[in-house]
Amino acid sequence: MPRVFNQKIKILYLMRIFLEQTDEEHPMSVKELISYLNSLGISAERKTVYDDIETLRNFGMDILNRREHPAGFYLASREFELPELRLLVDAVQSSRCITNGKSRQLIRKLESLASVYESRQLRRQGFAENSIRTINENVYYSIDMIQRALTEDRQISFQYCEWTVEKKLCPENEGERYSVSPWGLVWQNEEYYLITYDEKCGRVKQYQVDKLQQIRIEKEVRCGRGFFENYDIGELTSRTFGMFGGKEKTICLEAHNRLVGVVLDRFGRDIMIHRKDPEHFKTLVRVNISDQFFGWIASLGPDAVIASPDEVRDKYREFLEKSLSNYK
């Protein structure tokens, strides 16, 4: 590159050096900065480097000069701190709706937000490769189409798939297209779910995003606005088990005190907890009655009881009897 052009972009390369090559444990002296710039074909002098560092500081970069060993200049703070990036990397690695290939791409992008030294601390590929993940590469595009429909206030249609015993995702109901009004995306149980309003039956339905195919944005405006104005999608995730729908009921749950943490984790800290006796508590919670809810209750063993209503108690008893009949 011509010398004049090199000088014009020198400060940009200097910015990149601070972003990629420095952190508190890895500062660079002015001599090292000049040497690095020279390796890129850019000549620099001490005075101009000091001037450029001051310009970058005025621009908003938090560049500090470390006096003790190892001495030098380094970028002290970034848009994302290392603990924040760790959280994001862990979220990507634990996500079952992202393929291994997309997971690696996302993690590399997150690593680029740290210095080359800190990025090494973010790599935990051994954990990511062996986790259970979707094989549907279209999840990204499905989410993009859904977001567009939400922004444009439009309905969508799609085919919904289920797994076969041959381990293939195949459209259900002979490829019938579902037409719904999208109202949000929810992250639950390491999966993405689409929250919709179905005008035909007048109720909320959930669909697992990685099972959607052939999504199309329709010309019709979304339905269900009045319903969702006072609808708490966050509450939906606490009362719906495995995102399986069911008739909503308020139940009285009684359990041993050692299960209070389990109940609070499931239903949130806003529920009212009352002592039944010194060793037990009771609470009223809203749930969508489903086999998945009954499975959760059963997992708590004899220390958790559905106290009321009788209708739900009877259905739970039927669930247990049917399950036990397989072991006679």
Q: Which of 24-33, 72-81, 158-167, 283-292 shows the lowest mean pLDDT across its residues? A: 158-167
Higher pLDDT: 305 or 8? It is 305
CA–CA distance, 28 with 117 (Å, rounded to integer): 13
Is 186 in contact with 143 (CB distance < 8 Å)? no
- Residue 279 CB burial class (10 angstroms; 0-12, 13-18, ≥19): exposed
Question: To 10 degrees, the CA torsion angle through 104, 108, 111, 116?
Answer: 120
Query: Looking at residue 215, what DSSP letter applies?
Result: E
CATH number belonging to domain 3-75: 1.10.10.10
Q: Which of 261, 249, 263, 268 is CA-nearest to residue 305?
A: 263
Residue indicated by tokens 């039927």? 318
**Residue 125 above 50 pLDDT?**
no
In the predicted structure, residue 128 carries a pLDDT above the cut 50: no
Which is more confidently placed, 71 or 91?
71
Q: Express each pLDDT in 11-40 by its tens digit.
A: 999 999 999 999 999 999 999 999 999 998
DSSP structural state of residue 222 = P
pLDDT at residue 282 above 90? yes
Residue 322 clears pLDDT 80, i.e. is over it: yes
Q: What is the DSSP letter of 220?
A: E
Q: Alpha-carbon torsion 72, 77, 80, 82, what sign?
A: positive
- Look at residue 138 and tell me whether its pLDDT is greater than 80: no
Q: Is the pTM of this model over 0.85?
A: no
Angle formed by the axes of helices 310-325 and 291-299, nearest 10°? 80
Mean pLDDT taken over the chain: 85
φ/ψ of residue 283, rounded to 5: -155, 155
Q: What is the predicted pLDDT for the residue at 137? A: 65
Q: What percent of the chain lies above the pLDDT cut of 70?
A: 87
Q: Give residue 86's pLDDT.
A: 86
Three-state DSSP at 224 gives coil
CA distance 106 to 165: 31
Q: What span, in angstroms and rounded, lies between the C-alpha atoms of 180 and 222?
A: 8
Domain definitions of the chain by residue range: 3-75, 82-129, 139-231, 247-325
Architecture of the domain made up of 247-325: 2-Layer Sandwich (3.30)
Q: What DSSP string describes 81-102? A: -HHHHHHHHHHHHH-TTS-HHH
* pLDDT tens, position by position, 218-256: 999 999 888 887 776 666 665 555 555 678 889 999 999
- List the one residue out of 101, 181, 91, 188 whose CA is nearest residue 139: 101
Query: d(Cα 185, Cα 316) in Å, to the nearest integer?
Result: 30
Interatomic CA distance for residues 212 and 160, integer angstroms? 5
Q: Determine the pLDDT at residue 130.
A: 46
Question: Which pLDDT tens digit goes with each residue over 162-187?
Answer: 887 676 788 988 889 999 999 988 87
pLDDT for the residue 118: 87
pLDDT bin (cut points 50, 70, 90) of residue 204 is confident
Round to whole Å and give the CA distance between 64 and 51: 14
Inter-residue contact 146 to 182 (CB < 8 Å): yes
- What percent of the chain is predicted at pLDDT more than 90? 44
Query: The domain at 139-231 falls in which architecture?
Result: Roll (2.30)
The Cα 135–Cα 139 span in angstroms is 9
